[in-house]
C-alpha cells in the first residue's frame, strides 16, 4: 500500500471519512465526516474563524444554499459554468464543441449551441479520434438545478460557490459597516457542483465545504494597514516568472509587494494570512507553495491570483486555496443585472471646491412653447457643456430633441456660476477573495500529519496532529481494567471534560495496544493510571510523538494538560520524566 492508500484506509477505518450512502451502493463525489472527521473539520473551521473573522473583524454571514436564477445569470455561472459538448456517434468520445471549431472561428464562445453545430456541419468536422459523425451540441451545466415551490415556475440552483451570498448582500453589509471601506464578509458552508467525474476521494466532491471571504477595498488604495505585521515573513513564491524558470523564489512578503511580484500590499497581506493559517492547522511547510496564475489561466477581470498548492503523494500538486483580486467584476455584474447601485460614497479628506455653471431653463416660457416636450428640452439645456453655452451666449441655442433640430432664444435660459464643494465620490470597491476548499485542506492535514516509524520491529502509525485540531485531545487509560484503577481514571475523565477538553476513555486491551490506537487517531496526550495513584497520588502523561512519559500529581492534571495542549509549556518541563523498561 502506498501512503495515499494507507491514509485513506486509516481515515475510513477510524471514522474520519466515509463514502456516503454506502448502505445503498454509494454515489461518487459525496463523503460523510465520521465521529473523528466531523470534529477535525469543526476545529479547522474554528481556526479559520480565528484568522478571518475574529482577528480581521470580518462579518460571518450565512446565506441559503439554494439560489434563484437571477444570481447566476449575473454571476455568469449559468452561461460560463457550462460547456457545449458534442459526442462522436461512432466511438462515443466526448468533446468540447467550441474547441473543435477554434481554428475556424476566433471567438466560438460567442456562438449559440445551434450555431456551433451548424459550423461543425458546414465545415464537415468529424470525430478527431475516429472520423465519425458528431452529435448535436448540448449544454452541460455544472450546477444542480431544482424547483422552488410547486410547479416549474421558479428555477433554483444549488450554489456553486458561497461567494455570491456576500456579493448580493453588499448593500446591507455596507450599511452594517456604517458606509465605509474597507469591510469584509465571510461564509463557511456547503457548495455544490455536478462534476462530470469526481475522483480522488475528497479532492473533487459534488458537495463540498468552502470558506470564503469577500474583502471590499478602495480601488484607489490597495495598501494594508497591518502589512507591517507580515512584511518580514519569508515564503517561497512560485510567480509567473519563477514558473518559467521552474524554480520557486524565496523572499519576504515585504519584498514581494515592493517588487510587484504580488500585485499589491492588500493581496500580499491575505496571502500571508492564508500561509499562516495553513501552517497553523498542520499543512507541512515543505509541501506547500503559493503559485501565481499564469496570465492565460487567470480570469480576464482578475488583477492577480495566487493559489496555495500542496503536494500530496500520488496526486502531485493540488490547489487548496485561491487568493484573487477580482477587481470590481462581481459588483458591476450584479449592479447591472439588478439595477441597484452597488458603489460606496467615499469622502475626501478635504472637500474639493470647484466652479460650476448651473443652467436654469425658463420653464414658464418653455412650457407653453414646447408643451409635452418642454421637460426634454429643459433636460437637454441642462446637459449643455459650459463651452457650448459660451459659444451661444447672447445668441441662439441649437438643440436636437428626438431627432428634431430646435432653436431656442438664449434669453429663455439663465445661468450662473456657483462654487460647489465636492465631498467625495462614488466608488465601486474592488474585491479580494481568499477562497478555501475545506475538504481538501482536511485531507491535506491527514496526509501531511501521517507518518510511520519502526518501534522494536513493529510499525507504528501516527497522525501528528497539532493539538489545536486533534479530535481527541486526551485519552485516559487505566493500566488494567480493575476497579482500583478504572474508578479514579473515570473521575479524571469527568474532570477534564468539565474543563472543556475532548477526552476519551479506553480500558480495552493491553496498554501498548491502546497507545497505538490513540497514536493512530492523533491523540496528543495519553494519561496512564497505575497503582502509583494510590501509593503516591501520581499518574503519567505520555507524549504521542516522542512516546516519552512524565509523572504528574493527580491534582495538577487538568492544569498541566490545558497548558500542554495550548503549547504554553514544553512536555519535558511539565513533570518528572519516567524511565520505563519493558518487562519481560
Partner RNA sequence: GCGGCUGUGGUCCAGUGGUUAUGACAUAGGCUUCCCAAGCCUGUAACCCGGGUUCGAAUCCCGGCAGCCGCACCA
Residue 216 burial (CB count, 10 A): 25
The least CB distance from residue 63 to RNA, in Å, is 20
Do 8 and 201 form a contact (C-beta atoms < 8 A)?
yes
Q: Distance between CA 318 and CA 288 in Å, rounded?
A: 10
Whole-number minimum distance, CB 52 to RNA, in Å?
20
Residues contacting residue 425 through CB under 8 Å, at least 6 positions apart: 345, 346, 348
Minimal distance in Å, beta carbon 183 to RNA? Answer: 25
3-state helix, strand, coil in the chain (%, to 5): 35, 30, 35
Indicate which single residue of 147, 391, 422, 580 sits in contact with RNA (rule: CB under 7 A): 580
- Choose which of 46, 60, 69, 83 interacts with RNA (CB under 7 A): 83
Question: Is residue 218 a contact point for RNA (CB under 7 A)?
Answer: no
| Closest to 130 in 3D by CA, of 176, 174, 95, 80 | 95
Cβ 435 to RNA shortest distance, Å: 9
Stretch that binds RNA, among 147-155, 389-397, 404-412, 451-459 (CB under 7 A): 451-459
In the bound state with RNA, the residue whose beta carbon lies nearer, of 425 and 545, is 545
Closest to RNA by CB, 200 or 338: 200
Q: Which of 46, 60, 255, 520 lies at the binding interface for RNA (CB under 7 A)?
A: 520
Whichever of 398 and 531 has its CB closer to RNA, that residue is 531
In whole angstroms, what is the distance from residue 305 CA to residue 299 CA?
9
Reduced to 3 states (helix: H, G, I; strand: E, B; else coil), residue 370 is helix
Residue found by looking up cell 497505575 in the block: 530
Cell of 145: 438545478
The smaller minimum CB distance to RNA, of residues 152 and 197, is found at: 197
Cell of 417: 456660476
Q: Please list every residue from 99 through 118 that binds RNA, using CB under 7 A.
A: 99
Q: Can residue 162 be called a binding residue for RNA (CB under 7 A)?
A: no
Position 200 contacts RNA (CB under 7 A): yes
Q: Are 260 and 287 in contact (CB under 8 A)?
A: no
Cα 481 from Cα 489, distance rounded (Å): 10
- For residue 408, the cross-strand partners are 397
The binding track of 312-341 with respect to RNA, each residue x by CB under 7 A or -, is: --x----x--x-------------------
Say if residues 18 and 12 touch (Cβ distance below 8 Å).
Answer: yes
532 sits near RNA (criterion: CB under 7 A):
yes
Interface residue with RNA, options 64, 509, 567, 577 (CB under 7 A): 509
CA distance 190 to 136: 34
Residues in touch with RNA (CB under 7 A): 9, 12-13, 19, 25-29, 81, 83, 87, 91-96, 99, 140, 142, 193, 195-201, 204, 314, 319, 322, 455-461, 479-482, 484, 508-513, 515-517, 520, 528, 530-532, 540, 542, 547-549, 580-583
Amino acid at each position: 500500500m502506498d501512503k495515499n492508500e494507507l491514509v485513506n484506509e486509516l481515515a475510513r477505518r477510524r471514522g474520519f471519512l466515509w463514502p456516503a450512502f454506502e448502505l445503498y451502493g454509494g454515489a461518487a463525489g459525496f463523503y460523510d465526516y465520521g465521529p473523528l472527521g466531523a470534529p477535525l473539520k469543526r476545529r479547522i473551521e474554528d481556526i479559520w474563524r480565528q484568522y478571518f473573522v475574529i482577528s480581521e473583524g470580518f462579518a460571518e454571514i450565512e446565506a441559503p444554499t439554494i439560489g434563484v436564477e437571477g444570481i447566476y445569470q449575473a454571476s455568469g455561472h449559468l452561461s460560463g459554468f457550462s460547456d457545449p459538448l458534442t459526442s462522436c456517434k461512432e466511438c462515443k468520445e466526448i468533446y468540447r464543441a467550441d474547441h473543435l471549431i477554434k481554428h475556424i472561428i476566433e471567438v466560438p464562445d460567442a456562438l449559440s449551441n445551434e450555431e456551433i453545430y451548424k459550423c461543425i456541419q458546414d465545415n464537415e468536422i468529424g470525430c478527431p479520434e475516429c472520423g465519425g459523425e458528431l452529435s448535436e451540441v448540448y449544454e452541460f451545466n455544472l450546477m444542480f438545478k431544482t424547483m422552488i415551490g410547486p410547479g416549474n415556475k421558479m428555477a433554483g440552483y444549488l450554489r456553486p460557490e458561497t461567494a455570491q451570498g456576500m456579493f448580493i448582500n453588499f448593500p446591507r453589509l455596507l450599511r452594517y459597516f456604517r458606509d465605509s471601506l474597507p469591510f469584509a464578509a465571510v461564509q463557511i458552508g456547503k457548495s455544490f457542483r455536478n462534476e462530470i467525474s469526481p475522483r480522488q476521494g475528497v479532492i473533487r466532491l459534488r458537495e463540498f465545504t468552502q470558506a470564503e471571504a469577500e474583502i471590499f477595498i478602495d480601488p484607489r488604495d490597495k495598501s494594508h494597514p497591518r502589512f507591517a505585521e507580515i512584511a518580514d515573513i519569508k515564503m517561497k513564491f512560485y510567480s509567473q516568472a519563477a514558473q518559467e524558470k521552474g524554480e520557486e523564489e524565496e523572499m519576504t512578503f515585504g519584498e514581494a509587494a515592493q517588487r510587484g511580484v504580488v500585485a499589491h500590499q492588500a493581496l500580499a497581506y491575505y496571502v500571508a494570512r492564508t500561509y499562516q493559517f495553513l501552517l497553523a492547522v498542520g499543512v507541512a511547510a515543505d509541501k506547500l507553495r503559493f503559485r501565481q496564475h499564469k496570465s492565460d489561466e487567470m480570469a480576464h477581470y482578475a488583477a492577480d491570483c495566487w493559489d496555495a498548492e500542496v503536494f500530496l503523494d500520488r496526486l502531485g500538486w493540488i490547489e487548496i486555496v485561491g487568493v484573487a483580486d477580482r477587481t470590481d467584476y462581481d459588483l458591476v455584474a450584479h449592479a447591472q443585472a439588478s439595477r441597484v447601485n452597488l458603489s460606496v460614497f467615499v469622502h475626501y479628506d478635504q472637500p474639493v471646491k470647484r466652479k460650476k455653471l448651473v443652467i436654469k431653463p425658463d420653464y414658464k416660457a418653455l412650457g407653453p412653447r414646447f408643451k409635452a416636450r418642454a421637460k426634454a428640452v429643459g433636460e437637454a439645456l441642462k446637459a449643455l457643456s459650459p463651452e457650448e453655452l459660451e459659444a451661444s451666449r447672447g445668441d441662439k441655442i441649437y438643440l436636437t430633441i428626438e431627432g428634431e433640430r430646435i432653436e431656442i432664444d438664449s434669453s429663455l435660459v439663465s445661468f450662473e456660476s456657483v462654487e460647489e464643494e465636492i465631498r467625495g465620490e462614488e466608488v465601486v470597491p474592488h474585491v479580494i477573495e481568499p477562497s478555501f476548499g475545506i475538504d481538501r485542506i482536511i485531507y491535506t492535514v491527514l496526509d501531511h500529519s501521517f507518518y510511520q516509524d519502526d518501534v522494536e520491529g513493529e510499525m507504528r502509525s501516527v497522525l501528528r496532529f497539532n493539538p489545536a485540531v486533534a479530535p481527541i485531545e486526551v485519552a485516559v487509560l487505566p493500566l488494567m481494567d480493575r476497579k482500583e484503577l478504572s474508578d479514579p481514571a473515570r473521575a479524571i475523565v469527568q474532570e477534564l471534560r468539565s474543563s472543556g477538553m475532548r477526552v476519551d476513555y479506553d480500558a480495552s486491551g493491553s496498554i501498548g495496544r491502546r497507545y497505538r490506537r490513540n497514536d493512530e487517531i492523533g491523540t496528543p496526550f495519553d494519561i496512564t493510571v497505575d497503582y502509583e495513584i494510590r501509593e503516591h497520588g501520581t499518574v503519567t502523561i505520555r507524549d504521542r510523538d516522542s512516546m516519552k512519559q512524565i509523572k504528574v500529581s493527580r491534582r495538577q492534571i487538568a492544569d498541566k494538560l490545558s497548558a500542554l495542549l495550548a503549547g504554553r509549556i514544553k512536555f519535558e518541563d511539565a513533570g518528572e520524566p519516567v524511565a520505563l523498561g519493558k518487562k519481560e
